[in-house]
Copies of this chain bind each other. A is one copy, B any other.
Amino acid sequence: MSEQKNAVNSISRLEAANFLKKNDNFYILIHVNPDGDAVGSGFGLCNALRMMGKKANVLCSDPFPDRYDYIIKDYEPMKFSPQTVVTVDIADTKLFGKELSVYGKYVDLAVDHHISNTGFAKKTVLDGNAAAACEVLYEIFTEGNIPIDKKTAVCLYTGIATDTGCFRFENTTRRAHIIAAELMGMDIPFARINRQLFEIKSRSRILAEQRAVEQLETYLDDKCAIISVSCEMMEETGLTQEDLEGIASIPMQIKGVEVGVTIKEKEPGKFKISMRSAEKVNVSEICGKLGGGGHIRAAGCSLEGELSQVKLKVLSVIAPALGFDLWLS
């Protein structure tokens, strides 16, 4: 992986720190459907800037999810005219969402860890090997001697923990562990944060998981597991799309499963397919054949038709990847 795709506007972490020090009146943009790394890097940067006596706000086209209440509860937007626009954890202006789309051409600095960053900002600090935008931000702060207080530490820990699945996933870096150890030195309530991020579920979420498990089918010598959720089922149970978020990880929990598929009916006859793989199959390639794409271990596509047809279509592309020549035999 190359560290910096967009060489034109790349700056070093130290240069980014100096940029933050020199400027004021910051609008910090985070992406739609914000996750822990978006919220963590957004509010972490905002807090660090305010600690330096600067004016800064965090802006998002979507509301901040309840899950991050412990970060957001004390936040009050300040009144000022923006002079500096910074994005964190955003690879593409498409992710600004409706309300923030107006800022697309005015981003002064982007702090990111997505190798796919389109280079939309005037200056970019991009580390494609970092596990989280919060990891990049931590290094900007430390290299530039920008103080990190407990509140900022809570934010940065949240981003790193979220994006690494609490240090479980392949993207976890040694650096992520060392930064976690540093942040823990500030006496952050990391166990409570992890409980909030990884354990606590709403009752409807638990119901959704139960329904999902009931729908689970396995194919191809049990190497492929499929969960499908129809519009009808959603209506029957009163579940929302939000309840179903992240449900794509469930098929992967079953012993022996190499490819996990989640088929969600978005509107009658229109399906969104999420695909995950354990360690061998390239699901980005498989989804590519179905008109979609993504990463090697997590990808997706959209298909139309009847559910049974959709399943068959999906299986017909997965089968050869699992070494089945004459499948369903």
The chain A residues found within 8 Å of chain B, CB to CB, are 166-170, 172, 174-175, 177-178, 180-182, 184-185, 190-192, 194-195, 198-203, 206, 209-210, 213-214, 216, 249, 252-255, 278-279
Interchain CB contact under 8 A, B177 and A254: no
| Residues from chain B with Cβ under 8 Å of A201 in the complex | 253-255
| Residues from chain B with Cβ under 8 Å of A167 in the complex | 166-167, 177, 180, 194
Interchain CB contact under 8 A, A254 and B168: no
| Residues from chain B with Cβ under 8 Å of A254 in the complex | 200-203, 206
Complex CA–CA separation, A64 to B95 (angstroms): 48
In the complex, how many angstroms separate the beta carbon of A277 from the nearest chain B beta carbon? 11
User: Quick one: closest B residue to A167, CB to CB?
Assistant: B167
Interchain CB contact under 8 A, B255 and A195: no
Known interface pairs A172-B191, A178-B181; A199-B166 also in contact (CB < 8 Å):
no
| Residues from chain B with Cβ under 8 Å of A175 in the complex | 181
Complex CA–CA separation, A194 to B201 (angstroms): 21
Interchain CB contact under 8 A, A202 and B255: yes
Known interface pairs A178-B181, A180-B177, A213-B210; A253-B166 also in contact (CB < 8 Å):
no
In the complex, how many angstroms separate the beta carbon of A328 from the nearest chain B beta carbon? 21
Chain A interface main SS type? helix
Q: Can you give 20 contacting A-B residue pairs, CB < 8 Å?
A: A166-B166, A166-B168, A172-B190, A174-B181, A174-B182, A174-B185, A177-B177, A177-B178, A178-B178, A178-B181, A192-B279, A195-B278, A199-B252, A199-B253, A201-B253, A201-B254, A209-B213, A210-B210, A210-B213, A210-B214
Complex CA–CA separation, A98 to B195 (angstroms): 37
Complex CA–CA separation, A214 to B201 (angstroms): 15
Complex CA–CA separation, A194 to B279 (angstroms): 12
Interchain CB contact under 8 A, A168 and B253: no
Most buried by B among A167, A178, A185: A167
| Residues from chain B with Cβ under 8 Å of A195 in the complex | 168, 278-279
In the complex, how many angstroms separate the beta carbon of A170 from the nearest chain B beta carbon? 4
Known interface pairs A199-B253, A213-B206, A252-B199; A191-B170 also in contact (CB < 8 Å):
yes
In the complex, how many angstroms separate the beta carbon of A163 from the nearest chain B beta carbon? 13
User: Quick one: closest B residue to A206, CB to CB?
Assistant: B213
Complex CA–CA separation, A209 to B254 (angstroms): 13
| Residues from chain B with Cβ under 8 Å of A255 in the complex | 200-203
| Residues from chain B with Cβ under 8 Å of A185 in the complex | 174
Interchain CB contact under 8 A, B200 and A253: yes
Complex CA–CA separation, A191 to B172 (angstroms): 8
Interchain CB contact under 8 A, B181 and A177: yes
In the complex, how many angstroms separate the beta carbon of A147 from the nearest chain B beta carbon? 20
